[in-house]
Structure 1
């Protein structure tokens, strides 16, 4: 497992998460937001910085919520049916 610092542009937060592989720029991730809801995030940037100890390079990710992904669309105990979903475009 690789421990990676994830810098979230949407929530202006930083946290360290463990990954099996370092995600690439443009890949999507599912992360839990501060409200406890899961949402899709796009990897904007990946970089490495040398650690203070030894010859070790630490990976960092810069992510932003995927456009059209709204973690707060739940209203009451149902979904907001007035909102029209758009297909995801690559």
Structure 2
């Protein structure tokens, strides 16, 4: 599992989550919002920063809610995204 900091542009929040793989720019994710509802988010940017210890690079994601998506909307059930991941919260 890879621990990634996800910076959410839509609700201006930051969370550390664990993923099986680092999502790529343009891919879609299903994330739970602060209200507890699931919604589709697009990956806008992926970057790496050197950790404070050793020679380790830590990945970061910048995401934004998919246009036309509303939290909890199950009209399209998220089938328009390329890949869905349900990350494990730390």
**TM bucket normalised to smaller:** 0.7 to 0.9
Structure 2 length-normalised TM: 0.80
Structure 1 residues not aligned, in runs of 5+: 74-78, 80-87
CA RMSD of aligned residues (A): 1.8
Which 4+ runs in 1 deviate beyond 4 A?
none
Match of residue 43 from structure 1? 43
Higher RCO (CA < 8 A, seq sep 6+): 2
**Counterparts of residues 1-90 of structure 1 (less than 5 Å):** 1-71=1-71
Structure 1 length-normalised TM: 0.80
Aligned residues: 76
Structure whose CA Rg is larger: 1
